[in-house]
Amino acid sequence: MRPAVLNPLFASITALPGVGPKVEKLFRRIVGRDRDDVPRVIDLLFHMPTGSIDRRARPRLRDVVPGTVATVAVTVERHRVPPPGRSRAPYLIYASDGTGDLVIAYFNARRDYLEKLLPVGARRYVSGTVALYDGMLQMAHPDRVVAESELETLPLIEPVYPLTEGLTANQVRRAIEAALTKLPAPPEWQDAAFLARSGFPSFGAALQRVHRPAEPGDVLAGSPAWSRLAYDEFLAGQLALMLVRAHMRRASGRCTEGDGRLRARIVAALPYTLTPSQSRALGDIAADLAGPERMLRLLQGDVGSGKTVVALLACAAAIEAGRQAAVMAPTEILARQHLKTIAPLAEATGIRFGVLTGRERGRERADTLDKLARGEIDLLVGTHALFQAEVAFSDLALAVVDEQHRFGVHQRLALAQKGRAVDVLVMTATPIPRTLVLTYFGDMDVSELREKPAGRKPIDTRAIPLERLDDVIAAVGRALGEGRRIYWVCPLVEESETTDLAAAEARFRALKQIFGDAADLVHGRMKGAEKDKAMARFAAGETGLLVATTVIEVGVDVPEASVMVIEHAERFGLAQLHQLRGRIGRGAARSTCLLLYKAPLGEAAKARLAIMRETEDGFRIAEEDLKLRGEGDVLGTRQSGMPGFRVARIEAHGALLQTARDDAALILARDPELKSPRGEALRTLLYLFERDEAVRLLRAG
């Protein structure tokens, strides 16, 4: 049950004055709720400003600087109504203050309303942006107009909020003002000494300060008020992750200790020796599997650092102990790519494996499910088809989840529930900045694969303007003549009327006219079997130029491919560019990546392309990507439904995350069931940031 003190915050915003059903629908667009969810008072209070308007300047008209916001005291002299039949002409009101004149302009305004707002002969304080028009000072649609008696009500510093079409700044401000009146006085969940040391206000005072700023700095993310709210969000997140972990650990693990025979055979069959970080990761995993607690480990490695082999060796350890393992990937292409790496090694060592994706149907699927339930399949590779209800394992010991950030925690837990005390290894080929590892994977131990496998050559990366497209096509022709294989990546599948981006299908048609059957096409809208055939033709060398969308971003492994052309590279994120580039440089040939961009470049795009040319270190690229884009985009959470932060901004508050983690660990060490007075207050915090699942775990014991 949510604590009663929070109920006013979780009431619908339609309970606020001035927010009817029509306006409520507009608010849905800006407060980050799903389209079908009615926004609540708390959603409005967590709708943070993007800046502020400073109305403290009160110049005389002769001192006003055009192009600035000013609040001026004027006497209204006359109204000029637009002539009949000229509805587009402005309604003009002439005013002065003895030092100069001001024209106040309104478009599509009602005369009776304006005569009441600005009566002739009255003195009014008018606030807004002043411009110079035909040599006269003009203010169009002032933000505020008040009489002298109401001057006290004019906020000197006014927050500016993100808006949507149909919703005015005043409507948002009025709704947030009304929401502030509903603020309860919850118990203080933060440590008093910490608050004093940090200079943080109470939760309620922090919200008041951000939405009713006394200084322009109060609406900045780094202000004490905003930082207090960010720290609350971090602490709720870290506590929730640690409670989930404690719950998984309490459901004690099973000791899975193999004798090493299968692993030795796999290592012997590898064409290279394991890197030091692969060996370290395998040591960590073996210790976790053999331990009494359930494993929950994140394996992050750069493109081509050999995660699949580590995953297979981890699975082999479980299979040696007479149990089963599963590898789950987010897409069919990636699942089949894992299978391609795993199958020859599994066959060489006698591991019985199967595959389960959306494509396996009928008799084949039934046969796989039957063998799996009888324990005749040791290792199952597949997509999220793996955690469907009818999939039953004989004795699942280890679940390997690839590209975890494309799955939710629920899906991870669903696979882990396919057996008794299942150990979980999560992999990602997107190196994740440290702050985000703490945020999203704080319930896990972490192993990193830092080195590339031996023999990987550096990739020559160049940025080339699109005006030189003919030169690039000529270079591709020369590379084809040398027998090299080339990826050409485009951002869209087909031309759309609203964009000038080169579409994969159009580019394919153009290149096919030049290179004939050497060119082929693969994109996300093709059927699975068609995609596989196109990839197989390219891998076999039947085609030399593969035009593709970003479907080739992860898991595609053609060692002979040594040239990558990325068209409109300025439209891609850093992590995506890095992933795409990682498809080449896997074989003996020297590799080249050409980043084709449309000039002129914006600052962020320029920075992205410069970093790509400077480094191939995915961990550094991830940190730079975070600085350039913010956390939601780096992990693809804007699309994947993963919980981005509502209040905290990683770029401004990242340093507070480790403190929150340490604080959460200390709290749970002292009060694991949150039963002390501060523990009870922290339960309120968990409900406030909707981490109630963690509270339910506490109750479940």
Residue-wise pLDDT for 441-495, tens only, equals 666 788 988 887 666 778 999 999 999 999 999 999 999 999 999 999 988 655 5
CATH number of 261-449: 3.40.50.300
Q: At what angle do helices 528-540 and 332-349 cross, to 10 degrees?
A: 60
CB within 8 A of 134, min separation 6: which ones?
none
Pick the CATH number of 459-615 from 4.10.640.10, 3.40.1030.10, 1.10.599.10, 3.40.50.300: 3.40.50.300
Please tell me the distance from the alpha carbon of residue 412 to that of residue 399, in angstroms, as a whole number.
9
Q: What is the pLDDT of residue 630?
A: 53
3-state SS of the chain: helix, strand, coil percent to 5?
Answer: 45, 20, 35
More confident residue, 109 or 592: 592
Q: Where are the alpha helices (DSSP H) in 557-634?
A: 574-581, 603-614, 618-629, 631-634
Q: Is 556 helix (H, G, I), strand (E, B) or coil?
A: coil
Q: Is 375 helix (H, G, I), strand (E, B) or coil?
A: coil
Q: Tell me what the pLDDT averaged over the chain comes to.
A: 86
Start-to-end Cα distance in the chain:
16
Q: Where are the alpha helices (DSSP H) in 482-525?
A: 504-515
Give the type of residue at 542: E
Q: At what angle do helices 655-670 and 224-250 cross, to 10 degrees?
A: 50
CB atoms within 10 A of CB 202: 14
Q: What is the pLDDT of residue 185?
A: 93
Q: Are 498 and 575 in contact (CB under 8 A)?
A: no
pLDDT confidence band for 632 (50 / 70 / 90): very low
**Measuring CA to CA, how many Å separate 495 from each of 261, 503, 509, 595, 638?**
55, 5, 12, 20, 24
Burial-class residue 130 by CB neighbours within 10 Å (0-12, 13-18, 19+). buried
CB atoms within 10 A of CB 700: 8
Q: Are 27 and 188 in contact (CB under 8 A)?
A: no
From 398, 406, 408, select the one nearest 285 (Cα to Cα).
398
Are 56-154 and 261-449 equal in CATH topology? no
Q: Where are the alpha helices (DSSP H) in 129-254?
A: 169-180, 192-198, 203-211, 224-250
Residue-wise pLDDT tens digits, 322-366: 999 999 988 887 888 888 889 999 999 999 999 998 888 889 999
Please tell me the distance from the alpha carbon of residue 619 to that of residue 587, in angstroms, as a whole number.
22
Please tell me the distance from the alpha carbon of residue 347 to that of residue 261, in angstroms, as a whole number.
14
Q: How far is CA 392 from the centre of its chain?
A: 33
Q: How far is CA 537 from the centre of its chain?
A: 35
Q: What is the pLDDT of residue 527?
A: 82
Residue-wise pLDDT tens digits, 75-125: 999 999 998 877 788 999 999 999 999 999 999 888 999 999 999 999 999
Domain ranges of the chain: 4-52+164-219, 56-154, 261-449, 459-615
Q: Model's pTM, two decimal places?
A: 0.66
Does the pLDDT value for residue 405 go beyond 60? no
Q: What is the pLDDT of residue 528?
A: 76
Report, as an integer, the average pLDDT of 187-196. 95
Please tell me the distance from the alpha carbon of residue 626 to that of residue 633, in angstroms, as a whole number.
8
CATH number of 56-154: 2.40.50.140
Please tell me the distance from the alpha carbon of residue 674 to that of residue 244, in angstroms, as a whole number.
14
Q: What is the pLDDT of residue 496?
A: 58
Q: What is the pLDDT of residue 412?
A: 58
Give the type of residue at 601: L
